[in-house]
């Protein structure tokens, strides 16, 4: 997701002339900048991307750079020469027809690829949707989902979607549950009703999509809910592609403080023909009730409860016969519990031993609970480092495979490494060794793994290894970036400085122009994303957006090539360090780590004479980064003077409920107002360009227009660019990408360098 006065900039015209040019950037310079990614992506060979293991646990598929772009290869553990995984021309033609746009065989936008040769099908993900294509003919389509009632941001059911045609069959097929009106009806194979609820109503509805059957077919759990507040965001499509007249779009979009669906688990016992509300006293003020599952002995079921406000979570177990509920695990926090990174595992689904992730000792670690209400669970992992992801739990061997960062003290604390450990905390075994950022993909049977590792200065190394001992079986390819280097690529510089507490290291990157001249001075621009759900400075080799953020770094290099130093760092309030580091964001998203960021800038300026922040710095970002960009201008005008803000949630009360209540808390209080860049927009002193997609479905576009309203009423000058039909981030990933990027670049050249711009209207007419 989510400032000196202008007069002080008048002296920058000469000092900030781009180092590479005797004059201001011309149209050709801008064209080269916005075309940088397109030009670079064909210059490497044998850069391997993370692998997708196939169901046979022997074959894996990966994407690799070749002359002209990318090719998908298939390879097996037993060896043999890699072969082309499928006919790229057929898939490209099928996708082009399905999407109505040209998809090149050398640039297929696929992920999570699975081959089903028996059924002539290629399965993959694209743009957050599941797709399938025929392997033998140009026929592709997005896969239809099973019917269900969508829940907006997980908390609000769309009641306009009927569930009357949906049914849920018992495991043995003897019974089927359907929804009739607001009640649940259970019938046998003869279509006779064996049980029917009678207490359903418009104000208290049963949800057939939530039914979870016992393995013994004699009971089920279903959610009955009181509908919440149906808030809709309404957008106008001003320039539809196939119509002159505007169209209206409505989106169910609950916001912080809204009344959410109130869920109540109900146990229906077919043996006794009875029903019972369960755990009512233990699920007060539920935000989400999720993860319902039956234990293997079918004598009880468990579920995950999150209290509104994200300061309490429970695993609750319910006995099938009595309906008695017990708290198996309870987690409480004074700030927030990061449910985005939570982990829970019931060992053998027996309801006796459970593995749970907690930050109670100051870092994200795993704990083993033995029985219900275990007040002193055994800590499995421990140390001043966080568990980042649990990959696999082997109940039989009593081992856990997980990813973590910060264990190795002599390297970047954000580098991901993979490990194996026993349930009792013994035998911590590293599975990755190189000082780099690793992404490991294991076969489903956990016998093998492909480890792709890199750094910003180290192109991807891909290795096939054996899991039991980490033995290297072979290196899949040797990366070749000689053409990229010849084209002027240099790796960004890693820079580390102390944060606001003068103790904590803040890590970032410095990107210089390709024709950098250390004898000159350059204005500095910061690329910001300070969302508390992750960390964002790329740690991997990045010319193609290998990891999220890679494309943004390409944008950083392109912007730097116009005569700037462009930087990015992770300040306090972002994730993947300690709980204390993260807690800075609590009820304080307006902070955005700026005290750390400004100190980092000043440390860089003290070390490098070419790093010129004497007249302030520029800043840009999208979504939460857009929010932070405006916040920089209005909360820190003494340092940040010029900003380009994309698609920002400039007031957390205007954005989606799920993201904002987690970090800003519930109920909505004065902290939302204090963090609101919108509320303080009238204090703007510097230069601001707002960019927004008209059809942003992630952040309510009205958030941008409310900032505009404040600026107009305060008599402030600013620039505004609305992209008709544009989605989130206004076309940086969809839509007129080059145009939007060029407008951003132009704004910084004009406002920070005080350089005249080319006549782009004249140039575009040639």
What does the alpha-carbon distance between residue 651 and residue 705 come to, in Å, rounded to a whole number? 11
What does the alpha-carbon distance between residue 668 and residue 660 come to, in Å, rounded to a whole number? 10
pLDDT, the chain, mean: 92
Q: What are phi and psi of 674, to 5 degrees?
A: -65, -35
Of all residues in the chain, what percent carry a pLDDT higher than 70? 94
Please say if the pLDDT value at position 214 is more than 90.
yes
Kind of pairing, strands 325-332 and 247-252? Answer: unpaired
pLDDT for residue 39: 87
pLDDT for residue 544: 59
Average pLDDT score over residue span 479-502: 96
pLDDT for residue 16: 33
Please say if the pLDDT value at position 229 is more than 80.
yes
Q: Is 605 helix (H, G, I), strand (E, B) or coil?
A: helix
Please say if the pLDDT value at position 532 is more than 50.
yes
Q: Is 384 helix (H, G, I), strand (E, B) or coil?
A: coil
Range with the poorest average pLDDT among 35-39, 46-50, 443-447, 667-671: 35-39
CATH topology for 149-337 is: Methanol Dehydrogenase; Chain A (2.140.10)
Average pLDDT score over residue span 440-460: 97
Banded model confidence at residue 735, pLDDT cuts 50, 70, 90:
very low
Locate all alpha helices (DSSP H) within 253-380, ordered by sequence.
none
Element (H, E) at 606: helix 594-607
Banded model confidence at residue 715, pLDDT cuts 50, 70, 90:
very high
Range with the poorest average pLDDT among 250-264, 493-507, 720-734: 720-734
Kind of pairing, strands 274-277 and 286-294? Answer: unpaired
Please say if the pLDDT value at position 103 is more than 70.
yes
Please say if the pLDDT value at position 21 is more than 80.
no
Instruction: Give CATH 3.40.50.1820 domain extents, the chain.
Output: 6-21+493-756
pLDDT for residue 432: 98
Residues 6+ apart with CB under 8 A from 443: 53, 57, 58, 60, 77, 449
Q: Is 187 helix (H, G, I), strand (E, B) or coil?
A: strand
pLDDT for residue 430: 98
> Mind spelling out the 3-state secondary structure of 464-479?
EEECCCCCEEEEEECC
Average pLDDT score over residue span 560-572: 97
What does the alpha-carbon distance between residue 289 and residue 749 come to, in Å, rounded to a whole number? 51
Range with the poorest average pLDDT among 76-80, 192-196, 712-716: 76-80
Banded model confidence at residue 124, pLDDT cuts 50, 70, 90:
very high
Please say if the pLDDT value at position 733 is more than 60.
no
Residues present in the chain in total: 766
What does the alpha-carbon distance between residue 206 and residue 264 come to, in Å, rounded to a whole number? 9
Q: Which residue has the higher pLDDT, 615 or 41?
A: 615
pLDDT for residue 543: 66
Tens of pLDDT, residues 240-273: 988 999 999 999 999 999 999 999 999 999 999 9
Average pLDDT score over residue span 451-462: 96
User: What is the DSSP track for 120-184?
Assistant: TEEEEEETTEEEEEESSSS-EEEPPPPP---EETTTEE-TTS--TT-EEE-TTSSEEEEEETTEE
- Reading the block at residue 94, the tokens are 């099928």
Q: Is 383 helix (H, G, I), strand (E, B) or coil?
A: coil
Average pLDDT score over residue span 225-248: 96
pLDDT for residue 416: 98
Q: How much is the pTM?
A: 0.94
Average pLDDT score over residue span 48-70: 95
Q: What are phi and psi of 98, to 5 degrees?
A: -70, -35
Instruction: Give CATH 2.140.10.30 domain extents, the chain.
Output: 149-337
What does the alpha-carbon distance between residue 444 and residue 447 come to, in Å, rounded to a whole number? 8
Average pLDDT score over residue span 596-610: 98
- The angle subtended at Cα 763 by Cα 762 and Cα 766, nearest 5°, is 95
Tens of pLDDT, residues 647-687: 999 999 999 999 999 999 999 999 999 999 999 999 999 99
Banded model confidence at residue 163, pLDDT cuts 50, 70, 90:
confident
pLDDT for residue 79: 85
Please say if the pLDDT value at position 318 is more than 60.
yes
pLDDT for residue 148: 62
Kind of pairing, strands 193-196 and 378-379? Answer: unpaired
Considering the segment(s) 6-21+493-756 as one domain, its CATH architecture is: 3-Layer(aba) Sandwich (3.40)
Please say if the pLDDT value at position 542 is more than 90.
no
Compute how many other C-beta atoms are within 10 angstroms of the C-beta atom of residue 165: 9
Average pLDDT score over residue span 364-374: 91
């Amino acid at each position: 997701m989510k400032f000196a006065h202008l007069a002080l900039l008048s002296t920058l015209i000469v000092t900030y002339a781009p180092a590479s040019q005797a004059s201001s950037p011309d149209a050709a310079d801008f064209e080269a900048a916005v075309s940088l990614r397109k030009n670079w992506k064909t210059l490497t060979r044998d850069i391997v991307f993370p692998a997708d293991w196939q169901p046979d646990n022997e074959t894996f598929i990966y994407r690799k750079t070749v002359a002209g772009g990318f090719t998908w290869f298939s390879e097996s553990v037993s060896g043999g020469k890699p072969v082309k995984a499928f006919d790229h021309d057929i898939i490209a033609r099928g996708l082009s027809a399905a999407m109505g746009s040209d998809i090149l065989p050398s640039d297929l936008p696929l992920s999570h690829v699975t081959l089903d040769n028996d059924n002539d099908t290629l399965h993959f993900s694209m743009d957050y949707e599941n797709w399938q294509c025929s392997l033998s003919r140009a026929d592709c389509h997005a896969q239809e989902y099973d019917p269900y009632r969508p829940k907006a941001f997980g908390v609000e059911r769309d009641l306009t979607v009927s569930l009357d045609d949906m049914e849920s069959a018992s495991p043995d097929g003897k019974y089927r549950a359907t929804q009739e009106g607001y009640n649940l009806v259970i019938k046998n194979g003869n279509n006779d009703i064996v049980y029917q609820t009678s207490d359903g109503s418009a104000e208290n509805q049963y949800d057939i999509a939530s039914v979870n059957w016992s393995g013994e077919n004699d009971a089920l759990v279903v959610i009955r809910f009181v509908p919440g507040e149906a808030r809709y965001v309404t957008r106008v499509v001003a320039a539809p592609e196939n119509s002159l007249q505007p169209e209206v779009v409505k989106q169910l979009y609950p916001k912080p403080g809204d009344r959410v669906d109130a869920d109540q688990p109900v146990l229906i016992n077919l043996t006794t023909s009875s029903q019972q509300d369960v755990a009512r006293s233990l699920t007060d003020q539920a935000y989400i009730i999720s993860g319902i599952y039956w234990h293997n002995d079918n004598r009880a079921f468990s579920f995950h409860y999150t209290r509104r406000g994200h300061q309490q979570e429970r695993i609750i177990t319910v006995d099938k016969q009595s309906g008695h509920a017990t708290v198996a695990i309870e987690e409480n926090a004074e700030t927030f519990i990061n449910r985005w990174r939570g982990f829970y595992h019931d060992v053998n689904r027996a309801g006796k031993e459970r593995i749970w992730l907690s930050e109670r000792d100051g870092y994200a670690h795993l704990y083993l609970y033995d029985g219900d209400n275990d007040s002193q669970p055994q800590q499995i992992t421990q140390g001043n480092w966080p568990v980042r992801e649990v990959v696999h739990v082997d109940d039989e061997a009593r081992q856990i495979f997980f990813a973590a960062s910060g264990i190795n003290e002599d390297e970047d604390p954000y580098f991901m490494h993979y490990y194996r450990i026993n349930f009792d905390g013994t035998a911590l075994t590293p599975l990755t060794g190189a000082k780099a950022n690793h992404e490991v993909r294991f076969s489903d049977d956990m016998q093998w793994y492909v480890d792709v590792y890199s750094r910003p200065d180290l192109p991807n190394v891909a290795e096939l290894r054996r899991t039991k001992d980490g033995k290297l079986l072979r290196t899949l390819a040797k990366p070749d970036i000689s053409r990229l280097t010849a084209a002027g690529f240099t790796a960004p510089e890693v820079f580390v400085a102390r944060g606001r507490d003068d103790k904590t290291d803040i890590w970032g990157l410095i990107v210089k122009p390709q024709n950098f001249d250390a004898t000159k001075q350059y204005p500095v621009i910061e690329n910001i994303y300070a969302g508390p759900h992750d960390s964002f400075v790329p740690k991997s080799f990045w010319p193609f957006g290998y990891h999220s953020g890679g494309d943004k770094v390409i944008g950083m290099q392109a912007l730097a090539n116009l005569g700037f130093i462009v930087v990015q760092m992770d300040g306090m309030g972002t994730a993947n360090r300690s709980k204390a580091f993260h807690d800075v964001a609590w009820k304080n998203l307006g902070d955005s780590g700026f005290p750390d960021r400004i100190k980092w800038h000043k440390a860089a300026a003290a070390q490098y004479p070419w790093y010129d922040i004497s007249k302030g710095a520029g800043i840009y970002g999208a979504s939460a980064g857009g929010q932070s960009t405006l916040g920089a201008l209005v909360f820190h005008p003494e340092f940040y003077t010029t900003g380009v803000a994309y698609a920002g949630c400039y007031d957390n009360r205007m954005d989606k409920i799920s993201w904002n209540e987690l970090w800003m808390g519930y109920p909505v209080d004065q902290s939302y107002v204090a963090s609101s860049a919108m509320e303080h927009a009238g204090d703007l002193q510097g230069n601001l360009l707002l960019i927004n997609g008209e059809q942003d479905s992630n952040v309510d576009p009205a958030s941008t227009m409310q900032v505009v309203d404040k600026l107009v009423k305060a008599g402030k000058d600013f620039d505004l660019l609305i992209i008709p039909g544009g989605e989130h981030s206004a076309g940086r990933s969809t839509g007129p990408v080059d145009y939007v990027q060029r407008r951003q670049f132009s704004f910084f050249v004009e406002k920070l360098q005080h350089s005249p711009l080319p006549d782009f209207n004249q140039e575009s007419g040639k």
